[in-house]
Amino acid sequence: MNSSVQHANGRYPPGDFAIWIFIYAELLAFGIFFLSYAFARANNVELFNESQLLLNRTAGAINTLLLITGSYFVVRAVAAIRDDKAQLCSRWLMAAIMMACAFLAIKLVEFYTKYQEGISLSTNTFYMFYLSMTFFHFMHVILGAVILAAVMLKARNGAYSREEHTGVETGGSYWHMVDLVWIILFPLVYIIR
């Protein structure tokens, strides 16, 4: 269990420091979105509650599971490279990318359904937030998957080892951020009333 807090070279935070500046900036952006949502909701509780019931919570719940599972796979990938098993690491990363793709597919169906119902950014404030925040997050899932894919290819080509695998930790950290944001976004927008 302790291995999750130990880093290859004992550094904290893990991965490249630059990614952490980026992660904090991203969290700040989402944080401001969440705060704005809270303020807008406080002024219009009824509308938010009504519109919220029309969202597909099952799809949201499945997507939450997919992202958490993806994060677990990323953890396994980091553990694998710490054991110097680069091929295993790249396979775990592939599994995480598959989770991301499944998430994107389900989200696309959700977006499509809403589009069919004639819902847009201008429908009401709730949908403005729902569409903006989930789309913004959607783009981050794509970016996260692209980063993981780049790391996976490098791992497959033997670029990482037990001693030097900063790249894996960097990609992993970013992915966990994408996951974390969804874990807040899902209950906030789909469930809490």
Partner 1 sequence: MQYQSQAVAKPYFIAAIGLFVGQILFGVILGLQYVIGDFLFPEIPFNVARMVHTNLLIVWLLFGFMGASYYMVPEEAETELHSPRLALALFWIFLVAGALTVLGYLLVPYATLAEITGNDLLPTMGREFLEQPTITKIGIVVVALGFLFNISMTILKGRKTVISMVLLLGLWGLALFFLFSFYNPTNLILDKYYWWWVVHLWVEGVWELIMGAILAFVLIKMTGVDREVIEKWLYVIIAMTLITGILGTGHHYYWIGTPEYWQWWGSIFSALEPIPFFMMVIFAFNMVNRRRREHPNKAAMLWALGTPVMAFLGAGVWGFMHTLAPVNYFTHGTQITAAHGHMAFYGAYVMVVLAMISYAMPILRGRAAANSEKSQVMEMWSFWLMTVAMVFITLFLTGAGVLQVWLQRISESAMPFMVVQDQIAIFYWMREVAGVVFLAGLVLYIMSFFVGGEEKTAQA
- Nearer to partner 1 among residue 22 and residue 138 (C-beta): 22
- Nearer to partner 1 among residue 29 and residue 54 (C-beta): 29
- Nearer to partner 1 among residue 40 and residue 101 (C-beta): 40
Give least dist CB 94 to partner 1, A: 26
Contact 148, 90 (CB under 8 A): no
Contact 129, 32 (CB under 8 A): no
Give least dist CB 103 to partner 1, A: 21
Question: What span, in angstroms and rounded, lies between the C-alpha atoms of 193 and 188?
Answer: 8
Give least dist CB 20 to partner 1, A: 10
Give least dist CB 128 to partner 1, A: 5
10 Å CB burial of residue 40 (0-12, 13-18, 19+) is middle
Q: Footprint of partner 1 on this chain (CB under 8 A)?
A: 16, 18, 21-22, 25, 28-29, 32-33, 36, 121-122, 128-129, 132
What distances in angstroms separate CA 118 from CA 31, 62, 112, one per listed residue?
A: 29, 24, 10
